[in-house]
Amino acid sequence: MSTVTMKDVAKLAAVSPRTVSNVVNGYLHVSDTVRARVLAAIDELEYRPNLLARNLRTGRTHMLALIIPEIDVPYFSELARDVIDVAGDAGYRVMIDQTAHDHERERELLVGNDRNMLFDGILFSPLVTQSEIAEMDQATTLPLVLLGEHTFTGRFDHIAIDNERAAHDATQHLIDRGRRRIAAIGDQPLEDYQTPRQRTAGYLAALAKAGVTPDPALIVPAARYHRVDGYEAAARLLAEAGRPDAIFCYSDLLAMGAMRAVLDAGLRIPEDVAVVGIDDIEEGRFSNPSLTTVSIDKRHIAAASVHRLIERIDSPDLPAVQIVVPHSLVVRGSS
């Protein structure tokens, strides 16, 4: 059987070989119609580009790294799925690694070593502090886009939601439902992480706007944002006098654990205690009751971050930008 060439694909798709090359290399300026025609021709002819030759010629691997804290946390696994889909459409493949909340591991993955030569760029969702982000400026040699709630310093491209506003909206929803003793689970006062700080600030701002005096006893920390942490925190709250009539959790997994604690205490959701989370993971749609949550547009985050990283790879000297992704409140049975 003869070898299929790029010219064969171009002839079948009625385009130039240059256009076929642009599609194979994931360039974004090819129209969707032409891209679809070229991809159909590639499939029909079973064309397989010589990737090794291409990489040697261009200095590119068309591989991206996605570094996240925990792959088994649904928010991150759902985000990873969207990143893989978007990157694939642009001609890139994605390798995933996790830091497991280890600061040294985060630093190790960012240092420009031989392993990083596999990648053209990095999408990084760190749990680092602001001082560590400053250190990254010296340690990182590859194009990098930061994901998550960190203060934008102008060093790196940054994709995030308005985290304080998201927490405000979740708390305001509970206030609008007539709740006044609203607990918050997920603060991390001993860490210099932006996510819990911003969510606590949004929670307190909503209470202040409604004229509700915050009770420090209702703000409960969580070492991790897992189900067990939400369960243990909610169980402590419910065992005290003056229990809350609502709980705002800083993640959906915390909220899942909190709901189980409410039910185990013999209370009803939402009649006795309403519960709201943040993330809109798929599990929340099928819990009983279904979980009210602040929905973070993970597909939007994936598309914005992948496209920005490819722009950064093509033009390393572009000024850093911050892209704020929209969020929305999804009201379900738990509130």
The CATH number assigned to the domain holding 258 equals: 3.40.50.2300
Beta-carbon neighbour count of residue 116 at 10 Å? 16
Between β-strands 157-161 and 322-325, what pairing exists: parallel, antiparallel or unpaired?
parallel
- One domain, residues 15 and 75: no
Distances in Å between the alpha carbon of 279 and those of 6, 148, 251? 44, 12, 6
Answer whether 312's CB lies under 8 Å from 304's CB: no
Q: Which domain holds residue 198?
A: 163-296
- One domain, residues 284 and 178: yes
Judged by phi (left if over 0) then psi (alpha if -120 to 50, else beta), residue 94 lies in beta
- Residue 232: the pLDDT is 97
- Residue 48: the pLDDT is 72
- One domain, residues 119 and 239: no
Does residue 278 sit within a domain?
Answer: yes
- Distance between CA atoms of 215 and 232, rounded to whole angstroms? 19
Mean pLDDT of 65-80: 91
- Residue 242: the pLDDT is 87
- Residue 215: the pLDDT is 94
Q: For residue range 227-252, what is the model confidence (pLDDT) as tens digits?
A: 999 999 999 999 988 899 999 999 99
Q: For residue range 136-154, what is the model confidence (pLDDT) as tens digits?
A: 665 666 888 988 866 667 7
Number of domains in the chain: 3
- Residue 134: the pLDDT is 63
- One domain, residues 302 and 157: yes
Mean pLDDT of 89-108: 82
Does residue 56 sit within a domain?
Answer: no
Under the banding of pLDDT at 50, 70 and 90, the label for residue 104 is confident
Residue 323 exposed, middle or buried by CB count within 10 Å (0-12, 13-18, 19+): middle
Burial per residue of 5-43, b for 16 or more beta-carbon CB atoms within 10 angstroms, e otherwise = ebebbbebbebeeebbbbbbbbeeebeeebbebbbebbe
Q: For residue range 182-221, what is the model confidence (pLDDT) as tens digits?
A: 999 999 876 667 888 899 999 999 999 999 999 999 999 9
- One domain, residues 180 and 257: yes
Mean pLDDT of 155-161: 87
- One domain, residues 155 and 168: no
- Residue 189: the pLDDT is 77
- One domain, residues 260 and 283: yes
Is pTM beyond 0.85 here? no
- One domain, residues 261 and 242: yes
- Residue 128: the pLDDT is 59
Q: pLDDT at residue 265 above 90?
A: yes
Under the banding of pLDDT at 50, 70 and 90, the label for residue 129 is low
Q: pLDDT at residue 1 above 50?
A: no
- The whole-chain average pLDDT of the chain stands at 87
Q: pLDDT at residue 73 above 80?
A: yes
Question: In the chain, how many H helices and how many E strands?
Answer: 13, 12
- The CATH number assigned to the domain holding 20 equals 1.10.260.40
Q: For residue range 4-19, what is the model confidence (pLDDT) as tens digits?
A: 788 888 999 999 888 8
Q: pLDDT at residue 105 above 90?
A: no
- One domain, residues 197 and 130: no
- Give the residue from 260, 254, 307 showing the smallest Cα distance to 278: 254
Q: pLDDT at residue 279 above 60?
A: yes
Mean pLDDT of 158-168: 93
- One domain, residues 24 and 112: no
- One domain, residues 237 and 285: yes
Does residue 262 sit within a domain?
Answer: yes
What are 292's strand-pairing partners?
A: 276
Does residue 201 sit within a domain?
Answer: yes
- One domain, residues 233 and 252: yes
- Residue 91: the pLDDT is 84
- Residue 28: the pLDDT is 63
